[in-house]
Amino acid sequence: MRKFVFTLFVFFLLQSLIAQTSNQQDSAWIRDNYTKKEIMVPMRDGTKLFTSVYTPNDNSEPHPILMNRTPYSCAPYGEKNYRAFWDGHWRYYMRRNYIIVIQDVRGCWMSEGDFVDVRPFNANKKDKEFDEASDTYDAIDWLTKNIPNNNKKVGIFGISYPGFYSTIAALSNHPSLVAVSPQAPVTDWFMGDDFHHNGAFFQMDGFSFYSSFGKPRPKPTTMGSPGFQFPTRDAYKFYLEAGSTKELARLIGDSIAFWQAMYKHPNYDDWWKARNIRNFVNNIPNHTATLVVGGLFDAEDCFGAWRTYEAIEKKAKNNNRLVMGPWYHGQWSRGDGSSMGNVKFGSNTSLYYQNEIEIPFFMHHLEGKANIEDLAEATIFFTGANKWRSFNQWPAANVQMTPIYLNENGKLSWSKPTAVKSFSEYVSDPMKPVPYTEDVHFNRTTAYMTDDQRFANRRTDVLSFQTDVLTEDVTLAGTVIADFLTSISTTDADFVVKVIDVFPSDFKFPGDNNSSPQGRMGGASYPMGDYQMLVRGEVMRGRFRNSFETPSAFKPNAVERVKFELPDVAHTFQKGHRIMIQIQSSWFPLVDRNPQQFINIYEADAKDYIKSKIQIWHDGKNASNVVLPVLK
Nearest to 53 by CA among 36, 68, 66: 36
Q: To the nearest whole percent, how much of the chain has pLDDT over 90?
A: 92
280 Cβ neighbours under 8 A, 6+ residues apart = 121, 123, 168, 171
Name the residue type at position 209.
F
pLDDT the model gives residue 514: 52
Question: Cα(263)–Cα(380) distance, rounded to whole angstroms?
Answer: 37
Predicted pLDDT of residue 10: 34
Does pTM top 0.85 for this prediction?
A: yes
Please name every residue paired with 89 in a beta bridge, in sequence order, or none if there are none.
none
pLDDT exceeds 70 at position 520:
no
Q: Quote the mean pLDDT of the chain.
A: 94
Q: What is the pLDDT of residue 510?
A: 87
- Provide the angle, in degrees to the nearest 10, between the axes of the packed helices 161-169 and 132-146: 70
Of residues 520 and 395, more confidently modeled: 395
Q: Please, which pLDDT band fits residue 525 given cuts at 50, 70 and 90? A: confident
The pLDDT value recorded for residue 310 is 98
pLDDT for res 8? 33
Query: Are the C-beta atoms of 236 and 435 separated by less than 8 Å?
Result: yes
Task: Give dist(CA 542, CA 289) in Å, integer.
Answer: 39
pLDDT bucket at 511, cuts 50 / 70 / 90: confident
Spell out the domain ranges in the chain: 32-188+275-391, 399-508+523-631
Q: How confident is the model at residue 512, as a pLDDT?
A: 79
User: What letter would DSSP give residue 588?
Assistant: B
**Looking at the predicted structure, is the pLDDT value of residue 517 above 80?**
no
Instruction: Give, in degrees to the nearest 5, the angle at Cα 93 between 88 and 96.
Output: 140
pLDDT per residue as tens digits for the range 89-135: 999 999 999 999 999 999 999 999 999 999 999 999 999 999 999 99
pLDDT at 501 over 80: yes
Report the C-alpha gap between 306 and 329 in whole angstroms.
14
In the predicted model, what is the mean pLDDT of residues 365-375? 93
Q: Give percent of the chain with pLDDT exceeding 70.
A: 94
Phi and psi at residue 564, to the nearest 5°: -160, 165
Count of H-run helices and E-run strands, the chain: 13, 25
Q: What is the mean pLDDT of residues 577-606?
A: 98
Output DSSP code: residue 568: E
pLDDT digits (tens, 9 = 90+) for 105-117: 999 999 999 999 9
pLDDT, residue 219, reads 95
pLDDT in tens, 278-333: 999 999 999 999 999 999 999 999 999 999 999 999 999 999 999 999 999 999 99
CATH number belonging to domain 32-188+275-391? 3.40.50.1820
Q: What is the pLDDT of residue 439?
A: 92
The pLDDT of residue 356: 96
Q: What is the pLDDT of residue 23?
A: 62
What is the pLDDT averaged over residues 59-84?
97
Superfamily of domain 399-508+523-631: Galactose-binding domain-like (2.60.120.260)
Residue closest to 320 by CA, chosen among 284, 267, 366, 363: 284
* Tens of pLDDT, residues 220-251: 999 999 999 999 999 999 999 999 999 999 99
Task: Report which residue type is found at 211.
Answer: S
Helix axis angle, 235-242 to 245-252, nearest 10°: 100
Residue 604 — pLDDT band, cuts 50, 70, 90? very high
